[in-house]
């Protein structure tokens, strides 16, 4: 599930929300309840197929 980071333009509170497709219009600040929020740019994460693996540890194709 995608987690997005937001900042309230009214009070400055930073918060995170799990947002499903089409639900983004209903985001409100948990502090002041304002709907005037800005989505922040955040680092993404990516997990590989197994514990301790990452996307770069997979083979490049059949050998």
pLDDT at 13: 97
pLDDT at 30: 96
The answer as to whether 21 is a domain residue is: yes
Task: Please give the residue range of the domain that contains residue 28.
Answer: 3-57
**pTM, whole model, 2 decimals?**
0.63
The answer as to whether 63 is a domain residue is: no
The answer as to whether 31 is a domain residue is: yes
The answer as to whether 62 is a domain residue is: no
The residues near 2 (Cβ < 8 Å, ≥ 6 apart) are: 18, 19, 20
pLDDT digits (tens, 9 = 90+) for 8-63: 999 999 999 998 877 778 899 999 999 999 999 876 666 656 665 555 555 565 65
The answer as to whether 7 is a domain residue is: yes
Query: Considering its fold, how many domains does the chain have in total?
Result: 1
pLDDT at 57: 55
The answer as to whether 10 is a domain residue is: yes
The answer as to whether 45 is a domain residue is: yes
Indicate which CATH number applies to the domain containing 23: 2.20.28
pLDDT at 44: 65
The residues near 53 (Cβ < 8 Å, ≥ 6 apart) are: 47
């Amino acid at each position: 599930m995608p987690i997005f980071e937001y900042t309230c333009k009214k009070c400055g509170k930073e918060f995170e929300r799990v947002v499903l497709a089409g639900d983004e219009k209903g985001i409100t600040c948990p502090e002041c309840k304002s709907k005037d929020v800005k989505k922040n740019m955040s680092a993404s994460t990516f997990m590989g197929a197994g514990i301790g693996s990452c996307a770069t540890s997979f083979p490049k194709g059949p050998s």
